[in-house]
Structure 1
Amino acid sequence: MDEHEMDALIARVNAGDTAAQDALFAAAYPALRELASARLRDGGGHAGGLHTTQLVHESYLRLARGSRLRPESRREFFTFAARFMREFIVESLRRPRAGEPLTLDTAAELALTSEADEVLRLHEALAALQAAEPRLAQVVEMRYFGGYTEVEIGEVLGLTERTVRRDWDKARLLLLALLRQS
């Protein structure tokens, strides 16, 4: 499905067409699975035992139910999906901190706790970056939590690949400084 067809589906969903919502999910599903799979493979795989399908479905449900965000285009849809994936991963990592048992294997639990702490620290640093430089935070969110490439980020945000690369480099430096402070 091309971008214009998906934009038309999104417009129908925003107008209250429930059949369009089902069609949108079916059309977006392969790309959402790719996005979720890349994120789980590239660092979020120990996020409370999440699986690709679970991350896709939860993110889509949040997007569909969300009254706070109503995407108007394919670009916005996938940007919001990446954000919801990030939120769900962070929530999954925080749950064990609330006293839920993780595993009976102490070594696995230590590895999980270490990775969870890293992702949670990054989430907190990203929140600080969001307050100071929203576009840079969006680039990080899409690349780190969404698994997008620089080209894909540029397409979604309407930026050149070179601008995305500069934003990514600047964001990494700022995040590194924020992480060193914590």
Structure 2
Amino acid sequence: MQDITQLLHAAQQGDRAAASQVVAQLYADLQRLARRQVRQAGHLTLLDTTALVHEAWMRLPGAHGASFPDRRHFLAYAAQAMRSVVIDLVRARQAERRGGGLAHVTLDTAVAEQLPQGDADILRVHEALDELAQVEPRLAQVVEMRYFGGLREQEIAEALGVTERTVQRDWQKARLFLSISLGA
């Protein structure tokens, strides 16, 4: 079995067999990322983990200018692609032509309290993260890798080429920025 780094380089050069091997070797990791995304999105996405992995995989070949020198970079980009899939689904549901502006009504208030954040909240977080990326791109990368990708601080530090302490400081700054942006 080839090293994943070699397979990633071959896949970027257009080798379809290498791309298939990358998916086969990293499928469990991609499923883990998708489970996290689906759990966070709750009822807001109709996708299951397998569908989310496949939707994200369909977007990866369009990663113009993206480079995946190793497994961590690839998984970080995959987490970003999965986030994008979920955001696109939320936006599509909110589209006026699909009745996205209609309010959800429930007769059982206990059920409403158990539901995760609404579509508008997810879009607010997405927009705040985009705003953060414009101001401090590395902070946004840390949030995506940690929150959406589930990577540990050490893995993030290696992927970004910084120290673990820098990742910890970036995470604190990003949380502060997002809490102010979201008014929480």
Determine if the TM-score, normalized by the shorter chain, exceeds 0.5. yes
Query: 2:28 — aligned with what?
Result: 30
Shift of 1:113: 8.9
Count of residue pairs brought into register by the alignment? 178
Shift of 1:72: 3.1
Q: Percent identity?
A: 42
**1:59 to 2:56 alignment:** yes
Which of the numbers 125, 129, 132 marks the counterpart of 2:132? 129
Query: 2:47 — aligned with what?
Result: 50
Indicate if the aligned counterparts of 2:55 and 2:85 stay in contact, CA closer than 8 A: yes
Query: 2:81 — aligned with what?
Result: 84
Residue 113 and residue 160 in structure 1: after superposition, are their counterparts in 2 closer, same or farther (change >3 A)?
A: closer
What is the alpha-carbon distance in structure 2 between the residues aligned to residue 45 and residue 61 of structure 1?
Answer: 22
Q: Where does structure 1 lack aligned partners over 5 or more consecutive residues?
A: none
Residue 61 and residue 97 in structure 1: after superposition, are their counterparts in 2 closer, same or farther (change >3 A)?
A: same
Which of the numbers 118, 123, 132 marks the counterpart of 1:120? 123
Residue 71 and residue 111 in structure 1: after superposition, are their counterparts in 2 closer, same or farther (change >3 A)?
A: same
Larger radius of gyration: 2
Greater mean deviation of Cα atoms: 122-131 or 72-81:
72-81
Shift of 1:131: 0.5
The correspondence of residues 138-153 of structure 1 with structure 2, limited to 5 A, is 138-153=141-156
Which amino acid is the alignment partner of residue 118 of structure 1?
D
Greater mean deviation of Cα atoms: 50-59 or 132-141:
50-59
Which amino acid is the alignment partner of residue 78 of structure 2?
A
Indicate if the aligned counterparts of 1:130 and 1:136 stay in contact, CA closer than 8 A: yes
Any runs of at least 4 consecutive aligned residues in structure 1 with deviations exceeding 6 A, and if so which?
Answer: 108-113
Residue 142 and residue 65 in structure 1: after superposition, are their counterparts in 2 closer, same or farther (change >3 A)?
A: same
Which amino acid is the alignment partner of residue 82 of structure 2?
M
Shift of 1:154: 2.6
TM-score by length of 2: 0.83
Q: Deviations over 1:90-146 (max 9, x none)?
A: 11111111143689x733799879422111101101111000000000111122222
Indicate if the aligned counterparts of 1:46 and 1:115 stay in contact, CA closer than 8 A: no
Shift of 1:147: 2.6
Q: RMSD of aligned C-alpha atoms?
A: 2.8
Q: Where does structure 2 lack aligned partners over 5 or more consecutive residues?
A: none
Shift of 1:56: 0.9
Which of the numbers 36, 39, 49 marks the counterpart of 2:37? 39
Q: Deviations over 1:67-103 (max 9, x none)?
A: 3434233222112111101111111111111143689
TM-score by length of 1: 0.84
